[in-house]
């Protein structure tokens, strides 16, 4: 069992339960989800519970707050931050996930979104989607470069089935274990 599994919470003061979807404590869907069927209610909560498990297994951990990144959606202190999900309308086997960080200058957004992409796609046998596409919200000051990188990872994954890059100068690719 992972060392992070003790952080699952849900009954802690200041956090919602993993079994619920509280719209006012989740970010609004952004432009990456505009052409999708956005998950709400039980659909959102079910995928988010699975996300907690996958992020726990792969170590997608927010060092600023000291918890599994999936827990950000449940944190009352940050009602406009976390992930929102949407099924592509022309291909329901593809899920889109948009991450909204707590601030427009969140220094971990690159590493966290790459880690989320690798966790969801590296453990795709654990969910119903063939592929999960990930982007950071455009409110982040480096969203264009982060989203370009995520697009490149996605293209490579779609073409080769590989989650790792060929090295290069992208620090987060070499520094994160997932």
What is the block-wise mean pLDDT of the chain (178 residues), using blocks of 10 residues? 39 80 94 97 96 97 94 95 97 98 95 97 96 97 98 96 64 41
Quick one: residue 161, left, alpha or beta (phi over 0 = left, psi -120 to 50 = alpha)?
A: left
Query: Cα dihedral sign for 113, 169, 63, 144?
Result: negative
The pTM assigned to this predicted structure is 0.86
Q: Are strands 82-88 and 36-38 parallel, antiparallel or unpaired?
A: antiparallel
- The pLDDT value recorded for residue 177 is 41
Q: What distance in Å separates the CA atoms of residue 135 and residue 144, rounded to the nearest whole number?
A: 10
User: Which parts of the chain fold into alpha helices (H)?
Assistant: 41-58, 109-122, 143-160, 171-175
DSSP letter for each residue of 129-177: -SEEEEEE-TTSTTHHHHHHHHHHHHHHHHHH---S----S-HHHHH--
Q: What distance in Å separates the CA atoms of residue 68 and residue 165, rounded to the nearest whole number?
A: 24
Contact 118, 163 (CB under 8 A): yes
- The pLDDT value recorded for residue 12 is 60
- The pLDDT value recorded for residue 11 is 44
Where exactly are the structural domains of the chain?
A: 35-158
- The pLDDT value recorded for residue 165 is 55
């Amino acid at each position: 069992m992972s060392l992070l599994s003790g952080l699952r919470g849900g009954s802690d003061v200041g956090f919602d339960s993993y079994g619920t979807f509280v719209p006012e404590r989740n970010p609004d869907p952004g432009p990456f989800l505009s052409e999708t069927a956005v998950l709400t209610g039980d659909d959102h909560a079910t995928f988010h519970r699975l996300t907690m498990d996958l992020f726990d297994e792969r170590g997608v951990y927010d060092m600023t707050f000291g918890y599994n990144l999936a827990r950000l959606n449940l944190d009352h202190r940050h009602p406009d931050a976390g992930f929102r999900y949407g099924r592509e309308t022309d291909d329901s086997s593809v899920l889109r996930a948009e991450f909204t960080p707590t601030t427009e200058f969140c220094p971990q957004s690159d590493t966290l979104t790459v880690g989320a992409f690798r966790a969801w796609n590296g453990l795709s046998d654990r969910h119903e989607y063939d592929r999960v596409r990930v982007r950071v919200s455009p409110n982040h000051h480096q969203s264009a470069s982060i989203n370009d990188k995520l697009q490149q990872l996605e293209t490579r994954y779609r073409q080769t089935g590989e989650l790792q890059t060929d090295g290069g100068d992208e620090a987060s690719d070499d520094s994160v274990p997932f």
